[in-house]
């Protein structure tokens, strides 16, 4: 049975190692990017561990208050435990907690050739919002997918409120 816990900065080496096996070199995040995500970024990373505390997967989530969105930065499951529902469980957890915390939506980018990830996200209700030409390199197109966590009316109400809040307040003469 695998367990989930929040990542710490001393998990850096294990994460970078698994990342190298799960993504091609031109796409994989390196040590400095992961150090930033673990130590400085606003958000959190969930780890999936086996009984011996070996890393089996991770999901990194950033918080973007200005857009009222959570952004999935990275998701990978070790090949030995794929297709057992672990990625779906991690995503269901962040969707559940994102709703409970009042976030407007969750966003991510996925390569058009990544059929397993596309099936995973679409099965959870993520929908394409934007095509990203050459996103992962030449001819490696991608899509931005979004899962709304609140109704369209509520999202629009928040968008208007954000726009109003950014306007400089009118001065009385």
Do residues 5 and 46 make contact, with C-beta atoms less than 8 angstroms apart? yes
> Strand 69-77 to strand 105-111: parallel, antiparallel, or no bridges (unpaired)?
parallel
Chain-centre distance of CA 84, in angstroms?
20
Which of 42, 52, 83, 166 is close enough to bind ligand COA by CB under 6 A?
83
Is 22 a binder of ligand COA (CB under 6 A)? yes
Q: How near is the Cβ of 5 to ligand COA at its closest, in Å?
A: 17
Nearest to ligand COA of 16, 150 (CB atom): 16
Helix and strand counts by DSSP (H, E) for the chain: 5, 7
Do residues 105 and 147 make contact, with C-beta atoms less than 8 angstroms apart? yes
For residue 110, the cross-strand partners are 143
What part of residues 113-132 is at the interface with ligand COA (CB under 6 A)? 114, 116-117, 119-120, 123
Which of 24, 85, 102, 137 is close enough to bind ligand COA by CB under 6 A?
85
Binding site for ligand COA (CB under 6 A): 22-23, 75-77, 82-88, 110, 114, 116-117, 119-120, 123
């Amino acid at each position: 049975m695998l367990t989930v816990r929040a990542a710490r900065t001393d998990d850096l080496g294990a994460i970078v190692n698994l990342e190298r096996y799960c993504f091609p070199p031109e796409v994989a995040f390196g040590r400095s990017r992961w150090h930033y995500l673990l130590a400085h970024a606003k958000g959190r990373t969930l780890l999936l561990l086996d009984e011996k505390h070996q890393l089996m997967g991770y999901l990194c989530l950033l918080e973007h208050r200005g857009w009222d969105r959570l952004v999935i930065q990275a998701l990978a499951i070790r090949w030995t435990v794929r297709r057992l529902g672990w990625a779906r469980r991690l995503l269901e957890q962040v969707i559940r907690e994102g709703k409970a915390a009042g976030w407007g939506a969750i966003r991510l980018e996925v390569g058009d050739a990544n059929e397993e990830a596309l099936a995973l996200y679409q099965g959870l209700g993520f929908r394409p919002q934007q095509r990203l030409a050459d996103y992962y390199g030449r001819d490696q197109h991608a899509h931005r997918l979004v899962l709304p966590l609140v109704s369209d009316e509520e999202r629009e109400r928040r968008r208007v409120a954000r726009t109003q809040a950014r306007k400089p307040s009118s001065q009385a003469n």
